[in-house]
Amino acid sequence: MSRPGSGLPALPAPSPAVVCVAPAPLGDDAGDGSATAPVATLARALALGRPTLLLAGGSYPGALVLGGAVALFGGLDPGAGWTRAGAASVFSGGNSNRAVDIVAGAAVRLDGIEVAPTGAAWMGLYVAAGAEAWLTRCVLAGGVGRPGTPSALSCWGSVHVEACQLRGGPGDETSAICSFGRASIIDCDLEASHIGVNCSGATVERCRIRAGTHGVYIQGDDVIVRGCTITLEPRQPGARGVFIVHGERLTIEDNSIEGRPDHETLGRWSHLPQRTWRYDEHSARDYSMVSITGNGLWFHGEADGPSGGPYTGPTQDLDDFLVSPPMQPLPGELVDEIRAFLRAHSP
């Protein structure tokens, strides 16, 4: 399966290379998978070994394991020539961890699919290390099987997510996406009580992110967050639009970060110029090639740093960052500009 270029994939038509699937009574596993004799279950459809599945609207219960190279297109109406005019195709159920599991070595596309974990499943979709997945026009949710940690998507492989909706699930510490492989997340709507995107090695562009604690929580190298709208709501204590734990080759630019009603002006700050910084040898970490420009509220910290971390964002706590080693000194004119801003807008 080749990686898509720009745009969303076209919907394939029924053909001998396609399996048509419809829940009973319309579908029957005795059928041949043609448009007029669809099979009823995903297990039977996958067993036929064809590269493309067309799914009628309806519920597809039970844990699902996907391997090999296969594309699943959902939300189709058999009565309208298997075009996208039907109800959602919902993958429900799950095992003790997740509803859908994409295993190592797989190359899977999901288009127009809804994942709704039930029972013990706490994760919607899992992409294993060594797997590739392309998700377009999907709706993913986290489950309730593990209190405080549900996520819609967890990825240790490679995933491209475009024009999707992801909800972290119920609870106080949920995340929409946890990705520590390679991820591109484009034009998506993300919602979670705790973290929108918890990541390393990810590109997050033109997304609408609503989270209570951190819009994007960066824990490694090679992350781009560009052109996103991040709303901190319902806002939790210490909420930040972007929190950088550590990482190199980070680009955070042209984002709008809102949702601190007690310091609303701080959420519209956009005058910190591009710059790089580096920690000293004592920290045992190298923070090079970090570009932050044209954003709203953002934050950079380490758990063992002063006041919870050296701050590099325009909050009333930024003086901790300005005066606390081991951060390299900022240009004097920038220090003066930030301090003047803080004096004018701090409570």
| pLDDT tens digits, 44-75 | 999 999 999 999 999 999 999 999 999 999 99
Where, residue-wise, is CATH 2.160.20.10 in the chain?
A: 12-193
**C-alpha span between 342 and 18 (Å, rounded):** 61
Residue 80 Cα distances to 74, 75, 85, 86, 189, angstroms? 14, 12, 7, 8, 29
| pLDDT tens digits, 268-298 | 333 333 333 333 334 433 334 455 554 544 4
DSSP 256-317: EEE--GGGGGGGG---PPP------GGGT----SEEEES-SS-EE--TTSGGGS---SSSTT
Confidence of residue 336 (pLDDT cuts 50, 70, 90): low
Closest CA to 200 of 222, 185, 171: 222
Note whether 271 and 293 are within 8 A (CB).
no
**Range name among 79-83, 236-240, 250-254, 258-262 with the lowest pLDDT average:** 258-262
Asked whether residue 338 carries a pLDDT value surpassing 60, the answer given is: no
pLDDT of residue 139: 97
**Range name among 14-28, 141-155, 324-338 with the lowest pLDDT average:** 324-338
Confidence of residue 173 (pLDDT cuts 50, 70, 90): confident
CATH superfamily of 12-193: Single-stranded right-handed beta-helix, Pectin lyase-like (2.160.20.10)
- Calculate mean pLDDT across residues 104-129: 95
Confidence of residue 341 (pLDDT cuts 50, 70, 90): low
**C-alpha span between 158 and 108 (Å, rounded):** 11
Question: What percent of the chain stands above pLDDT 70?
Answer: 72
- Calculate mean pLDDT across residues 190-194: 95
| pLDDT tens digits, 228-246 | 988 888 777 767 788 877 7
More confident residue, 214 or 37: 37
More confident residue, 263 or 346: 346
